[in-house]
Structure 1
Amino acid sequence: MAFSPEKRKGTISGIIFVALVAASATYIAGLGPVQKLGISPLVVGIVIGIFYANTLHNHFPAAWETGIVFSAKKILRFAIVFYGFRITFQQIAEVGIEGFMVSLIMLSTTFIMGTWLGHKIFKLDRDTAMLTASGASVCGAAAVLATEPVLKAEEHKAAVAVSMVVLFGTIAMFLYPALLKAGIFHMTPQEFGIYAGGTIHEVAQVVAVGSIDGPDTEMAKAAVIVKMTRVIMIAPMLILLGIYLSYTAKKTGTEAGGVKLVIPWFAVYFIGMAGVNSLIQGYVESGASESMAQTIQSTIANINAIDTFLLTMAMTALGMGTRFAKFKGLGLAPLYAASAMFAWLVIGGYFITKWVVAVF
């Protein structure tokens, strides 16, 4: 146990250490050049964590390891639950059936295709293939973090998936506006917003691409709302993934002593938090006084800021458990799998968006 009498001091020291590194990552992410690139504190955190794991790891007390693991596992689940305060069901309703259908189709097809290609064609292990697919299909690094405990995957596998998300998400941030300005995308601002929200990896990257003509445009609003629709879909996706894992374990007989259904309760609580936030926002919009509305919005903003820091801690701790030696044998397979998913998101996503808008 992490907080047993003999481990308590080391665990607390490890958590404090992770928090200090996460604070440094947050500061770096806030610097002008880094902020302009849309690089989140989560990404900075994992980079610093990986650097620590492969250079300075042996110079710090081994007793801190329990605190690092606690941050990567327990704090992560807590942070994912409170991620629900970024979403309301009203926002999802605003974008209409078109945004919902694009989100659903792109998430399901990308996850299924990415897992199959990664595992069967490019010979990745199942966990790495699924983690990479979850990052591409849902919401980037946060989705990898949320999927990792369901799969009970090793830290270095999640780090591979996050690195692919960072690479192709960054490419998308520059590619989408360039293709739009070149006239290759024949879309209305609303359509392009739906397309960007339904296919780009990270929330921050969607905000950057959707806001190329301004943060309050029809395009920007559609992009962010569709992206948040994808984010909330991570909860049912993880529940279905848990059911699938239990089914395959039963079918192959790999679970000793009976089959245990894996239900990611933090995903269920995540939906609950989104529901609470929806009720709160409904109250603000329907009849709250101006002072009360400001207090509520300020409180939620603070919750989201704390939650981002906790996610950064989890990502930093994930990096701290990643040794380069564990990557041996993977070769370019993760890059090939991520490239295939990116091609589907860019090309397939365009045609899916045009079809959905035309039909619905």
Structure 2
Amino acid sequence: MNTSTLTTTIHPSKTQAPRFSGLAGLALSAVIAAAAIAAARIDWLQAQGFSALTLAIVIGMLVGNFAYRRIAPSCAAGVNFSKQNLLRLGIIFYGFRLTFQDIGHVGLSGVLIDALVLCSTFGMALLLGTRVFKLDRDTAVLIGAGSSICGAAAVMATEPVLRAQPAQVTVAVATVVVFGSLAIFLYPLLYQLNLHWQFLAASPLAYGIYTGSTVHEVAQVVAAAGAISPDAANTAVIAKMVRVMMLAPFLMLLSAYISKKNSEKKNNAAKKAGESTKRSAGGLAIPWFAFGFVAVAAFNSLNLLPRALVVHINDVDNVLLAMAMAALGISTHFSSIRTAGVKPLMFAAVLFGWLIVGGALINTLVLRLFA
């Protein structure tokens, strides 16, 4: 038997794996996504604010840590495709959930509240994350994005800009789950306390804007505001959607910021080495999917498509995002999360406290300004 025959006999999969790895990985991500979407329809899980995205990453992590190693060679390509390409496509189609008319429902005051909450929360994340809690930059930015905009979807959308590691993304999503779930039970209690203390305007409208501007996930916003009244829930969702709409400009500004910081690091390293510090062109990583997100939202604002078709598109988008989250979970190992320690949770807790207290202060001042 010659060497080539021996090699083929021992490793027959080397020539076959590339053909089937994409399909197998996509199928695995799809199965996990389907399971998560089905589980998210359970009444109890809905009441707790658990979305299909959250469940997809949890199931994905279980599969990835206990069963995936045996089939990893045949699934890796498809899992990576789901985690990267399907994620970007899912964020673009996320625009079908929004219309520019949503802005009119909360008025200029609602837009200003959302903007101030976003900027102050993310600014605090940048300041405290690396300097006080000594986290790496990517983890701090991901947790800040999830806290200040729209939870897991914002974390996932920010990942391509940072090129973050799966464990960093998973830690950030975990903080969204922990404190967003806590908000579901805490915010109705805060509403009842506010009826007595009158710190905020004691109306479903004001509570809805406050909830939509400060709670992490859309599903968590619905659960927290729905505990008060349907009117509060409707207002909260609109305020939340306006906040989600700020994701695109946020990503563009973040990309410019990251590019500037990376350029400064390269220049400093060059100076130490005594090399030229001439700045190279083309260093800005443009998140093109963010432009697609805005374009789709603008198109959706024209109301050209039947409502039933938009609902089906959103269902497809749920599948795409759930597959991306499943793939992320598959790629994440528990050992990486343990390595992160308690600092990310402590950091996210501080941001959560700011959303509650600082968000209430921002809501109060802006609403009084426009009264």
TM-score by length of 1: 0.91
Letter in 2 for 1:165: V
Distance (whole Å) between structure 2 residues aligned to residue 80 and residue 71 of structure 1: 13
- 1:325-340, aligned counterparts within 5 Å? 325-340=335-350
Letter in 2 for 1:43: T
- 1:225-236, aligned counterparts within 5 Å? 225-236=238-249
The answer as to 2:278 corresponding to 1:263 is no
Stretches of structure 1 lacking an aligned partner (at least 5 in a row): 284-294
- Alignment correspondent of 1:222: 235
In structure 2, the CA distance between the partners of 1:229 and 1:16, relative to structure 1 (3 Å rule), is same
The answer as to 2:88 corresponding to 1:77 is yes
| Aligned partners of 1:88 and 1:274 also within 8 Å | yes
SS in 1 for 2:150: coil
- Alignment correspondent of 2:38: 27
- 1:178-197, aligned counterparts within 5 Å? 178-182=189-193, 183=195, 184=197, 186-187=200-201, 188-197=203-212
Per-residue CA deviations over 1:250-308 (Å, capped at 9, x if unaligned) read: 1221799655211101011100000000011xx6xxxxxxxxxxx80100000001101
Per-residue CA deviations over 1:282-341 (Å, capped at 9, x if unaligned) read: x6xxxxxxxxxxx80100000001101111110010001101222344221101110000
SS in 1 for 2:176: helix
Deviation at 1:13, TM superposition (A): 1.1
- Alignment correspondent of 1:286: none
Deviation at 1:5, TM superposition (A): 8.6
Pick the aligned partner of 2:320 from 299, 310, 314: 310
- Alignment correspondent of 2:218: 203
In structure 2, the CA distance between the partners of 1:260 and 1:53, relative to structure 1 (3 Å rule), is same
- Alignment correspondent of 1:352: 362
Distance (whole Å) between structure 2 residues aligned to residue 220 and residue 40 of structure 1: 17
Distance (whole Å) between structure 2 residues aligned to residue 223 and residue 14 of structure 1: 37
Distance (whole Å) between structure 2 residues aligned to residue 128 and residue 244 of structure 1: 16
Deviation at 1:66, TM superposition (A): 1.0
Distance (whole Å) between structure 2 residues aligned to residue 115 and residue 55 of structure 1: 35
What is the alpha-carbon root mean square deviation over aligned residues? 1.8
Deviation at 1:75, TM superposition (A): 0.3
Letter in 2 for 1:274: A
| Aligned partners of 1:170 and 1:205 also within 8 Å | yes
Distance (whole Å) between structure 2 residues aligned to residue 205 and residue 331 of structure 1: 25
| Aligned partners of 2:200 and 2:364 also within 8 Å | no
- Alignment correspondent of 1:114: 125
Q: How many residues align?
A: 342
Deviation at 1:212, TM superposition (A): 2.4
Letter in 2 for 1:305: D
Per-residue CA deviations over 1:18-58 (Å, capped at 9, x if unaligned) read: 10111011111111221221210100100011111221122
Letter in 2 for 1:211: G
| Aligned partners of 2:204 and 2:229 also within 8 Å | no
- Alignment correspondent of 1:160: 171
Stretches of structure 2 lacking an aligned partner (at least 5 in a row): 1-14, 270-278
Which structure: larger Rg?
2
Deviation at 1:170, TM superposition (A): 0.4
| Aligned partners of 2:200 and 2:360 also within 8 Å | no
| Aligned partners of 1:191 and 1:354 also within 8 Å | no
| Aligned partners of 2:146 and 2:172 also within 8 Å | yes
Distance (whole Å) between structure 1 residues aligned to residue 142 and residue 358 of structure 2: 21
Distance (whole Å) between structure 2 residues aligned to residue 61 and residue 225 of structure 1: 42
SS in 2 for 1:222: helix
Letter in 1 for 2:229: G
- Alignment correspondent of 1:298: 308
